[in-house]
Amino acid sequence: MAKRVLVSGGAGYIGSHVTVELINAGYEVVVADNMSNCDLTCFEGVKKITGKEDIPFEKMDCCDDAAVNALFSKYRIDAVIHFAAFKAVGESVAEPIKYYRNNLDSFLNILEAAKTHGGCNVLFSSSATVYGETDRLPVTEQSPRQPATSPYGNTKQICEDILRDVVKATASCDAMEPGTDRNGTVKGIALRYFNPIGAHPSALIGELPRGVPNNLVPFITQTAIGKRECLSIFGNDYPTPDGTCQRDYIDIVDLAKAHVAAVGRMLDGKMKESYEIFNVGTGRPVSVLELVNAFEKVNNLKLNYKFAPRRPGDVTAIWADPTLANRELGWKAGRSIEDTLAAAWAWEKHLAGK
Ligand code: UD1
- The pick from 13, 37, 129, 249 for probing ligand 1's pocket by mutation, whose C-beta has the most ligand atoms within 8 angstroms, reads 129
Q: Which residues touch 72 (CB under 8 Å, ≥6 apart)? A: 113, 114, 116, 117
pLDDT at position 319? 98
pLDDT at position 170? 87
pLDDT at position 269? 94
Is the Cβ atom of 232 under 6 angstroms away from ligand 1? Answer: yes
pLDDT at position 198? 98
Q: Residue 114, Cα to own-chain centre: how many angstroms?
A: 20
What's the average pLDDT block by block, 10 residues per block, for the chain (354 residues)?
96 98 98 93 96 98 98 97 95 96 98 93 97 94 95 97 96 57 84 98 95 96 98 98 98 98 97 97 98 98 98 94 98 98 98 90
**Atom number of ligand 1 nearest to Cα 156:** 11
pLDDT at position 354? 79
Is the Cβ atom of 283 under 6 angstroms away from ligand 1? Answer: no
Q: Which residues touch 50 (CB under 8 Å, ≥6 apart)? A: 20, 23, 24
User: What spacing in Å lies between the alpha carbon of 234 and ligand 1's midpoint?
Assistant: 10
pLDDT at position 344? 98
Is the Cβ atom of 81 under 6 angstroms away from ligand 1? Answer: no
Taking CA atoms only, the protein residue closest to ligand 1 atom 33 is 215
Kindly report the CATH number that applies to the domain delimited by 4-346: 3.40.50.720
**CA quadruple 27, 30, 32, 37: dihedral positive or negative?**
positive
pLDDT at position 210? 87
pLDDT at position 255? 98
The SS3 call for residue 323 is helix
pLDDT at position 178? 53
Is the Cβ atom of 344 under 6 angstroms away from ligand 1? Answer: no
Q: Return the closest-CA partner of residue 246 out of 282, 279, 214, 278.
A: 282
> Which residues are marked as active site?
152
- The pick from 129, 131, 216 for probing ligand 1's pocket by mutation, whose C-beta has the most ligand atoms within 8 angstroms, reads 216
Q: What's the rounded Cα separation, in Å, for the pair 116 and 109?
A: 11
pLDDT at position 300? 98
pLDDT in tens, 213-228: 999 999 999 999 999 9
**Atom number of ligand 1 nearest to Cα 153:** 15
**Domain spans of the chain?**
4-346
